[in-house]
A = this chain, B = another copy of it.
Amino acid sequence: MQSKAPFAIAEYESRLAKTRTAMAKAGLDAIFVTDPSNQAWLTGYDGWSFYVHQGVIVTAEGPPIWWGRHMDMLGGRRTCWMDHAQIIGYGDHFVQSTEIHPMQHLAERLKEQGLERARIGVEMENYYYSAKAHAVLTTELPNATLVDATALVNWQRLVKSDAEIGFIRKAALISEKVIQTAIERAAPGVRKNDLVADIMHVGITGVDEDWGDYPAILPLTPSGLDATAAHLTWDGAPMKTGEATFFELSGCYRRYHAPLCRTVYLGTPPDDMRRVEEAQMEGIEAGLNAARVGNRTCDIANAFMDVMGKHGIERAGRMGYAIGLSYPPDWGERTASIRSEDQTVLQAGMTFHFMPALWMDTWGLETTETILIREEGAAETLCDIERKLFVKD
């Protein structure tokens, strides 16, 4: 049976090679990868099963092993590129038991792989590697050394392959449709949930034969005072004249994202919003212009903040992050951030969500771009949606 893994085996092998180079540099004999995005990147595994313990074992040689719940081995066989022998599972009696833990099963498998005394990397800072999992694995492998390898694989994902960029471009076309729907349908009296229903419909329909997958973050669409808060989803209240609504959305093509935000004002925006809009647009241009090979991520943030400073607007904190393959609850890759403390040197093929949103006291203005660092020149914005505050009278 043919695997449904979305990339050629040669691409997975090149990802493994990169990962092994990083492992060798960190002095690791093996890693146990729990981040679902890292699992998918290494093996193709794709299923909504990350709510139970599962992961990928990479050693110095051979194909990786996908390990998970017994009933999800079938999903592994359907979606991973490796032979079925590389897909192993634990019984259902381990699931949410208070007496036994899946990590006991994993420890036995690691011993069988000759890793009883190995240096094994684990992702200490990951949603899907709990404090308990680490405690059990530590107890069960008393002669091994568990080393924090958080983001070791994530960093290998930072520069995208041509095939991955192709996927992100498809996601970007879906993002365009999604944000267009939000802008077109927003009107006084429209219930927010009805608008979100349309947004999700368009996103999952996709563009032509490129079907839409679920985004790793569901629509953030707050209006008015709610829009001063960054992460509210939606409710059933009707949209109102005199309020700004920001739409933080992403199309998704086979787990690859291209996030995009625009803000819609119903009525006549106040002068201060217009002034901030002007500054934000100028700042984004400056940021894009700084987003070029050889510069650093902080240069993008600083270019934006210089413009803000000139306009007398305070803005600190993060204003973007690497994006690509992802699973809930986050579409960021959790590696390089666009912020003044971050010194990551930009290379061609990196993709970021450049996200210099401005949350003010009584409203928020989100205008963002998914950008690709090019061999030459300023960054390319992958979505083609006019960059402005959308006003609907």
- Which residues on A are within 8 Å of B, measured CB to CB? 1, 4, 46-51, 71-72, 74-75, 77-79, 91-93, 95-97, 122, 124-135, 148, 150, 191-194, 196-198, 200-206, 209-214, 217-218, 220, 225-226, 228-236, 316-318, 321, 328-330, 332, 334, 337, 339, 341, 359
**Option from B48, B132, B236, B317 in Cβ contact (under 8 Å) with A71:** B317
Q: How many copies does the complex hold?
A: 2
Assess whether B211 is in contact with A236, with CB atoms less than 8 Å apart.
yes
Check A193/B220 contact, CB under 8 A, given A127-B128, A130-B130, A132-B125: no
**Option from B51, B74, B194, B229 in Cβ contact (under 8 Å) with A75:** B229
Closest residue of chain B to A74 (Cβ to Cβ) is: B229
Assess whether A205 is in contact with B197, with CB atoms less than 8 Å apart.
yes
**Option from B91, B231, B236 in Cβ contact (under 8 Å) with A49:** B231
Closest residue of chain B to A198 (Cβ to Cβ) is: B201
Check A359/B328 contact, CB under 8 A, given A95-B318, A122-B131, A198-B201: no
Question: Nearest-CB distance from A325 to chain B (Å)?
Answer: 15
**Option from B129, B148, B211 in Cβ contact (under 8 Å) with A235:** B211
Q: Which residues of B contact A51 (CB under 8 A)?
A: 127, 217, 329-330, 332
Q: How far apart are the CA atoms of A162 and B274 in the complex, in Å?
A: 48
Q: Which residues of B contact A191 (CB under 8 A)?
A: 211
Assess whether A209 is in contact with B225, with CB atoms less than 8 Å apart.
no
Question: Nearest-CB distance from A238 to chain B (Å)?
Answer: 11
